[in-house]
């Protein structure tokens, strides 16, 4: 299965609790932090919820 490299590029400050929780669930805690996840429908859905805060690359 493909992997996704997700990098947080905007802050979670002044965002809804749901968006903050989604960032935390993805493993993103700081700006410019990068994590890799399998490209499952669940992860893609979480990324879609916070797409304005992250950059996504397919590997």
What is the Cα–Cα distance from 30 to 15, expressed in whole angstroms? 14
Contact 1, 38 (CB under 8 A): yes
pLDDT greater than 90 at residue 15: yes
- CATH numeric code, 3-58: 3.30.1390.20
The CB density around residue 34, as the number of other CB atoms within 10 Å, is: 13
Q: How confident is the model at residue 51 (pLDDT cuts 50, 70, 90)?
A: very high
pLDDT for 1 equals 81
Q: Where are the domains of the chain?
A: 3-58
53 burial type by CB count under 10 A (0-12 exposed, 13-18 middle, 19+ buried): buried
Average pLDDT on 37-49 reads 97
pLDDT for 34 equals 98
DSSP designation for 14: T
Average pLDDT on 9-23 reads 97
Average pLDDT on 6-23 reads 97
- Which position has the token pair 């397919």? 58
pLDDT for 59 equals 92
């Amino acid at each position: 299965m493909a992997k996704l490299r997700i990098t947080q590029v905007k802050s979670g400050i002044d965002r809804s609790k749901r968006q903050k929780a989604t960032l935390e669930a993805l493993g993103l805690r700081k700006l410019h932090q990068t994590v890799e996840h399998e490209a499952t429908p669940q992860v893609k859905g979480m990324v879609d919820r916070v797409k304005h805060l992250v950059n996504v690359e397919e590997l």
